[in-house]
Structure 1
Amino acid sequence: MTVRTVKKADGVDAEGAAGTADGAGAVSAQVFRDVMACLAMPVAVVSTVDAAGRWHGATLGSVVSLSLDPPLVMFALGHGTGVHRPVCDSRRFCVSILAAEQRETAERFAGPAADRFAGDVVLLDGLPAVGAAAGWLACTRTELVEAGDHTIVIGRIDDALRGPQGAGGPLLYHQRRYHRLGGPAELYQTAYARRPA
């Protein structure tokens, strides 16, 4: 086993990205974003209906499973986003897990609100959802947790369906770009090990 210490030198981290820290060890927002861009995140659309019957939805990369018993899901919404208030005020919401082929859908739900539901829409338990998704979760909100400039939304899963595109893999977001799965990691490791020197 090899153990080494990663250090910052002259304000530059181990990968060469400029970093800033205050006395408490806080990093700048840009450095934090750059480091978090190293994570591959699943891409989903969270949608709901407000009291007036209007549909709201947005692309998110923060959707994760939280519990199996009871089945819970959670995600974070920025306070300044247009979907924050409608989702937090509503008791129910839907999560559409986007398939690898749905990059255009992800971009549309990250764009102007008026255009978001212009594509294929289905209803799941009365909630608007993205058509041809890899999967859907119809949820009842159980808890809101304030965390910095975001609200963590926790919901109980009332219904779950795997879509027709589920076998093709999910849409992922990594290094500020959309991606699809390329295959199991062990295949790449084997191919790399066999590559001539």
Structure 2
Amino acid sequence: MTAPAPAPGEAAFRDALGRFASGITVVTSIDAAGRPAGFACQSFASLSLDPPLVLFCVARTSTSWPKMAGTGRFAVNVLAAGQRDVCRAFAVSGGDKFAGLSWTRSPHGTAHLDGALATVDCTIADVHEAGDHLIVVGSVRELDARDGGGPLLYYRGDYFTSDHAVADA
């Protein structure tokens, strides 16, 4: 018998999977104290049409997710090409990520970021443990899609639009 190959290292894993372009979302909610909370998320996908379900993955080390999990609800904000600064604000840990940003409270108790291409309001249907992340399944309550503009994409550590790379300032 041949011994199984060792698992790839973290750098090789990031390099190979970084070649998969992904859209960028910000997952948000309003915590129990009435404050908005959220984090940037590339690991988002539709899961089921019947019933309508979505999923996202969040690191177990997230400081924002525990504030949101107890509410039982979240919104996924699909970022537009011009929202690179919004992504950066939500990609950091701690601080007031909503400072200086325009957003509205949805009727479902989540935060909708102004200018997003779409928002998906959900209730938490299930949470699964998977390595150093959690897989969160959401039952879709309401959708809002807006026309105009393309998505903000992430590929190999840089931002792109559907037409070209976005220069990093």
On whether the aligned pair clears a TM of 0.5, the verdict is: yes
CA contact (8 A) 1:88 1:153 kept: no
Unaligned runs of 5+ in 2: 165-169
After TM superposition, give the deviation of residue 179 of structure 1 in Å. 0.7
Unaligned runs of 5+ in 1: 1-21, 184-197
RMSD, aligned CA: 1.6
Q: Decide which moves more: 108-117 or 149-158.
A: 108-117
After TM superposition, give the deviation of residue 132 of structure 1 in Å. 1.0
**Which has more radius of gyration?**
1
SS in 1 for 2:39: strand
SS in 1 for 2:95: helix
The answer for the alignment partner of 1:10 in structure 2 is none
Say yes or no: does 1:145 pair with 2:128.
yes
After TM superposition, give the deviation of residue 122 of structure 1 in Å. 1.6
After TM superposition, give the deviation of residue 64 of structure 1 in Å. 0.7
The answer for the alignment partner of 1:178 in structure 2 is 159
1:127-170 Cα offsets, whole Å, 9 max, x none, are 1121111010110000000000000000011000013xx43111
> Once the two structures are aligned, what percentage of the paired residues are identical?
36
Which protein has the bigger helix share? 1
After TM superposition, give the deviation of residue 106 of structure 1 in Å. 0.4
Say yes or no: does 1:99 pair with 2:80.
yes
- When the two structures are superposed, what TM-score results if normalisation uses the length of structure 2? 0.88
- When the two structures are superposed, what TM-score results if normalisation uses the length of structure 1? 0.76
The answer for the alignment partner of 1:44 in structure 2 is 25
Runs of 4+ residues over 6 Å off in structure 1: none
SS in 2 for 1:104: helix
Say yes or no: does 1:156 pair with 2:151.
no
After TM superposition, give the deviation of residue 110 of structure 1 in Å. 1.0
Higher relative contact order (CA 8 A, sep 6+): 2
**2-structure distance, mates of 1:72, 1:33:** 27
Matched residue count: 160
CA contact (8 A) 2:38 2:65 kept: no
